[in-house]
Amino acid sequence: MSPIQFNRFRNYFKVFSLMGAIIVIIVSHTWASSNKRTFLFLPSQTIFAPLIIDPRELGLGLVKFTNINQWEGSIGESYEIMQYRPDSRNRWGFGIRAAAFPWLGQEGRTFPMRANDWWLGVYLSHSNGNFSSRLEYTHISAHLGDALFEEQSPIVYSREFIRWLFSYNFLSQIRIYGGGGALVHSIPTEKPLFFQAGFEFFTLPLFSNTLPIQWYTGCDFQYQQELGGIVDVAAQLGIRLAESSKISSRGIRIAISYYDGNYQWGQFFNQRDSNFGLGIYFDN
């Protein structure tokens, strides 16, 4: 094992140990103070609902850019391993997050890969009524696609960060969120802090409560210290077909998307990007 690999393994071990200690403290405290305790393993939904506008939220989706003949996809999931419910309002969860984000060109019927980023992390989440939060530790590695090997040389790009997000739901139609975090390791080395905020809005069901169709929109804003300060803005406007009108329910979305900021792919992190797209997304 090389020194770099050993240091990375040591960082992961520290994070897992810290999150494990947090879980033990929480469970010990709530176990002693409540008689209504429930452990739920492999639940069907996460406590902290995914941020549907964030272009790097882990999920399943495909976007066709309208201003250029290219595609982007996301293949991943936040997988809740365990939930702990000490009382009727509080819920705690622990899980893993993993995804790949491919960027594809299009040449006739072929789709050469331009870049591909990989995300892997662990998280601890909590909810109390309409309030929820997620504390996560995530590793990113970025790779240049073979379609661009003759045009440019790949760079070594790696990120590991801690992020803490908070959200609040108004009724079942509006959600606001915000938070931030810091890089704990980065290649190339960059300033560590970043912040994020946004909102999601869903209309009331258009037809029925059994299989509701809703209009929705939202915006996501992110600021990063790296490269002297970066502001990324993402937005969507579309329709959603879901099993219920709750924001956290399973559903399919079709939307027009907009993004302006630096490229989300690590191999191009220091270059600007602006695009419109038409996408399909699968909420789980």
Q: What is the CATH number of the domain that holds 115?
A: 2.40.160.40
Number of neighbours of residue 64 by Cβ within 10 angstroms: 17
Name the H helices within the chain.
Answer: 3-33
Query: Structural domain of residue 82, as residue ranges?
Result: 3-283
Q: Is the pLDDT of residue 277 over 90?
A: yes
pLDDT at position 16 is 58
pLDDT at position 272 is 95
Which residues lie across from 201 on neighbouring strands? 174, 217
Residue found by looking up tokens 């000490």 in the block = 86
Q: State pLDDT tens for residues 149-194.
A: 888 889 999 999 999 999 999 887 899 999 999 999 999 999 999 9
Q: Is the pLDDT of residue 109 over 90?
A: no
Residue found by looking up tokens 């220091």 in the block = 270
Asked whether the bond before 112 is cis by omega within 30 degrees of 0, the reply is no
**Residue 47 to residue 217: CA distance in whole angstroms:** 22
pLDDT at position 24 is 55
Cα 48 to the center of its chain, rounded Å: 11
**Residue 97 to residue 203: CA distance in whole angstroms:** 29
Tell me how far apart the 2 most distant CA atoms of the chain are, in Å.
64
Q: Is the pLDDT of residue 32 over 60?
A: no
Q: Is the pLDDT of residue 33 over 80?
A: no
Percent over 70 (pLDDT), the chain: 84
Which of 92, 78, 73 has the alpha carbon at shortest distance from 50?
78
Which of 60, 63, 55, 106 has the alpha carbon at shortest distance from 256?
63
pLDDT band at 34 (very low <50, low <70, confident <90, very high): very low
Per DSSP, 262 falls in state: E
Q: SS3 of 186, please?
A: strand
**Residue 155 to residue 1: CA distance in whole angstroms:** 22
| Candidate from 6-15, 102-111, 142-151 with smallest mean pLDDT | 6-15
Cα 277 to the center of its chain, rounded Å: 19
Q: How many helical (H) and strand (E) elements, i.e. helices and strands, does the chain have?
A: 1, 13
pLDDT band at 61 (very low <50, low <70, confident <90, very high): very high
pLDDT band at 27 (very low <50, low <70, confident <90, very high): low
pLDDT at position 152 is 86
Work out the average pLDDT over 255-272: 96
Number of domains within the chain: 1
